[in-house]
Amino acid sequence: MKGLLIPILFALGTALCWGMYGPALGNARSPAKLPSPDAWSPFKPYVFIGVAYLVIAIAGGLVAMKLKGDTFSYSGAQSAARNWGFIAGSLGALGALCLTNAVISSKGNTALVMPIVFGGAVSINAIFAYTQLRNSMAISPMLWVGMALVVGGVILVAKNTPHGAPAKPTASAEVPAVGASATSDGVQKG
């Protein structure tokens, strides 16, 4: 277990950020009551998702490369970093586009979408690892048990997570206007 604390902390940071990605994306939707000229398409926030990826990936990547003493060359033997990095970034961006469409078509129901996304992601990762390693090592049958548990967990989480918009405040919970005071019978005096 020694030496695993840092990777576990980074993995938890990823889970935190990606777990909040869906709700943040849901908040980026145009309010339903906004009139047509002021409303925006669901893809307007997607552009700034890309900007954020670009800024954080480039700035973070350059800083980390400098800290690790890496070169800034992407030619020759270093071309695999460029090629696979572009493929990985494309998969991430396509995943974000698919997630955007999933959230839009579910009318912002991130409680349904997110468990499917992340349960599916861990299962796809396991299947890929299986296809790569099945001939070179023994694969435990518990892999399939774990994947069945993930599917069951996704169903349980998606089914039992509260769905819908937060409750609107009741009239009795409204705050009096500035400069107004409420009497004992709840009537405001201004």
Predicted pLDDT at 102: 86
What is the model's pTM? 0.68
pLDDT averaged over every residue in the chain: 81
**Residue-wise pLDDT tens digits, 146-190:** 989 998 998 888 888 876 655 666 665 555 555 555 454 445 554
Predicted pLDDT at 61: 92
Q: Is residue 89 part of a domain?
A: yes
- Average pLDDT, stretch 123-133? 88
For residues 175 and 52, which has the higher predicted lDDT (pLDDT)?
52
Q: Is residue 54 part of a domain?
A: yes
Distance, first Cα to last Cα, the chain: 65
The domain total for the chain is 2
Examine the domain organization and report whether 148 and 124 are in the same domain: yes
Greatest alpha-carbon span in the chain: 80
Structure tokens at 159: 């089914």
Cross-strand bridge partners of residue 182: 188
Q: Is residue 20 part of a domain?
A: no
Examine the domain organization and report whether 97 and 118 are in the same domain: no
Give the up-direction half-sphere exposure of residue 78: CA atoms within 13 A in the CB hemisphere: 6
Out of 62, 81, 105, a domain closes at: 105
Phi, psi for residue 52 in degrees, rounded to 5: -65, -45
Examine the domain organization and report whether 91 and 134 are in the same domain: no
Structure tokens at 162: 């509260």
Supply angle C-alpha 187, 189, 190, rounded to 5: 145
Structure tokens at 141: 């049958």
**Residue-wise pLDDT tens digits, 82-112:** 999 999 989 988 988 888 888 888 877 877 8
Predicted pLDDT at 11: 86
Supply angle C-alpha 17, 47, 120, rounded to 5: 45
What is the residue range of 63's domain? 41-105
Q: Is residue 185 part of a domain?
A: no
Q: Is the pLDDT of residue 65 over 90?
A: yes
Tell me how far apart the alpha carbons of residues 21 and 96 are, in angstroms, rounded to a whole number.
Answer: 9
Q: Is residue 169 part of a domain?
A: no
Predicted pLDDT at 66: 94
Phi, psi for residue 188 in degrees, rounded to 5: -85, 140
Examine the domain organization and report whether 121 and 73 are in the same domain: no
